Structures are given as C-alpha cells and as structure tokens.
C-alpha cells in the first residue's frame, strides 16, 4: 500500500525554518573561517537528518495496525486507556533524536476526539511519561467499529507537539497527521484481543512496521 501523498516529502515542512537558519549560519561562519565552520555544518547536517520525512510502503493486511513513528518499542502491555475509557493493549514507540519524527495514523479511521494535555518533560522512555508529560491524544474509530487511540508524548527535550487532524476527519492508515520536535514517544491503545507483532526492544519504522493485528471480531466494549 502506498503511503498517502502530502506536499512536503523528504524534508518535513516543520524543519524548513530550522534548516534554513542552520545553513545560513554555517555559510556565514565559512566565509570567515573554514575551520570554525565545521561545527556549524555538522549542526546543519543534524538538523537535516532530524527533519527527514521519507515516504514509506505499508501493509495491505486489513486488520494490521502500523507503527505511527520510527523508534524502539518500550511497552507492550494491557492497561487502562484513559482517553477512550476502557481496558486496552498499549504499545509504545520511543523516538530518539536520530529517528524520523513525523507521525502517521496507525489505522484507517475517523477522528472521534482530540485532546491536548500540558505537562512535564520527563525522559519519554519512562513509563510515567505517558501520563505526566505534555501530550496530545487522538481517538480513532475504524469503519467496522474498532477504537484505536494514538497519543503523541513530549520527551526530555521535546518542546512542541504538532497535530494537524480535526474531529470528524477521516485518516488513511499511514497518513501523516503530526510531528513532535526533538525526542518523544507515541503510545497506541488497541482493543483487547489485538495480537501484538512486536516485542519490547524491537526497532520499528513508521508505516512499514506492523505493530499488531486487530481482533477478528469487534469487542463488545468498543
């Protein structure tokens, strides 16, 4: 399945101002001192890699839930979903500063609810970050009635969570819907009975990695 197109491939639009500033400073320093400019070109390269946003191929399996972010799995557990008020399977993806930070919809679905929560900036790999850090929760409903919650969580140095979706909007699986700047995580809450396809410690890629498969039948509690 081809990832839905959006008009800023390769380099995320959120990074254009940062990249322009980094390159401009590096050019100015280069004019005065090539030796001193090396550090600033390294910074510019870091900014370039941080805001890269490649197009990805995704699964065509109907019940597949794809990873909403690049990173490493830090949680696979049954927990309470505080946003959809239910028990759920939680799978968390931790992103470090070298991962792609563009966020993609884990399923085909309609946005039911979006809520932003101000909070702290603990290391995003810690369990307490899910409920204490700054975060933005989006609850989706699939066409057959499954509820899937995706939560963008700020990290130790993350200072901006961006979510472009609106309540009532239909999102395609793998469609870009947000971005988090500088280290963070995304928590995905799935219906009980979903079958995880990843384990703690696994490295995952947004869109191309299947996190889990939804239950064969919709849960009566959904």
Name the burial class of residue 222, with classes exposed (0-12), middle (13-18) and buried (19+) by CB atoms within 10 angstroms of its CB.
middle
Q: Give pLDDT, residue 86.
A: 95
- d(Cα 93, Cα 125) in Å, to the nearest integer? 9
Q: Which CATH number fits domain 64-213: 2.70.70.10, 3.20.20.80, 2.130.10.10, 2.40.370.10?
A: 2.70.70.10
| Domain ranges (residues) in the chain | 10-53, 64-213
User: In residues, how long is the chain?
Assistant: 222
User: Which pLDDT score, from 0 to 100, does residue 174 have?
Assistant: 92
DSSP at 186 = E
> Is-catalytic flag, 105?
no
Share of the chain above pLDDT 90, in %: 61
Cα maximum dimension of the chain: 68
pLDDT-above-70 percentage for the chain: 91
- Contact indicator for 124, 99 with CB cutoff of 8 Å: no
- Asked whether the predicted pLDDT for residue 199 surpasses 90, the reply is yes
Whether residue 121 has pLDDT greater than 80: no
| Alpha-carbon span 140 to 59, nearest angstrom | 19
Give the tens place of pLDDT for each residue, 159-191: 678 999 999 999 999 999 998 877 688 999 999
Confidence check: pLDDT of 53 > 90: no
63 pLDDT higher than 70 = yes
Share in percent of the chain as helix, strand, coil (round to 5): 20, 40, 45
Give the 3-state secondary structure of residue 45. Answer: helix
Q: What's the Rg (C-alpha) of the chain?
A: 18
- Of 92, 125, 130, 184, the catalytic one is 184
Q: What is the pLDDT of residue 183?
A: 65
Q: Where are the alpha helices (DSSP H) in 51-155?
A: 129-132
Q: Which residue has the tokens 């370039």?
A: 48
Measured CA to CA, the distance from residue 10 to residue 67 in angstroms comes to: 19
More confident residue, 212 or 62: 212
């Amino acid at each position: 399945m081809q990832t839905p197109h959006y008009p800023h491939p390769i380099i995320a639009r959120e990074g254009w101002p940062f990249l322009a500033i980094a390159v401009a400073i590096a050019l100015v320093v280069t004019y005065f001192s090539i030796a001193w400019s090396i550090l600033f070109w390294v910074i510019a390269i870091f900014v370039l890699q941080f805001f890269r946003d490649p197009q990805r191929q995704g699964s065509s399996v109907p019940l597949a839930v794809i990873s909403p972010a690049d990173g490493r799995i830090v949680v696979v557990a049954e927990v309470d979903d505080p946003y959809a008020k239910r028990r759920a399977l939680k799978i968390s993806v931790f992103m470090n500063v070298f991962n792609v930070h563009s966020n993609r919809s884990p399923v085909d679905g309609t946005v039911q609810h979006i809520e932003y929560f101000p909070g702290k900036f603990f290391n995003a790999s810690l369990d307490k970050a899910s409920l204490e850090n700054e975060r933005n929760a989006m609850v989706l409903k699939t066409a057959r009635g499954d509820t899937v919650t995706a939560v963008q969580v700020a990290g130790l140095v993350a200072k901006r969570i961006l979510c472009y979706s609106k309540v009532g909007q239909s999102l395609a699986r793998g469609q870009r819907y947000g971005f988090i700047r500088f280290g963070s995580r995304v928590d995905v809450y799935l219906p009980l009975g979903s079958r995880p396809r990843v384990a703690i410690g696994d490295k995952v890629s947004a869109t191309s990695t299947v996190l889990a498969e939804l239950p064969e039948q919709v849960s009566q509690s959904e």
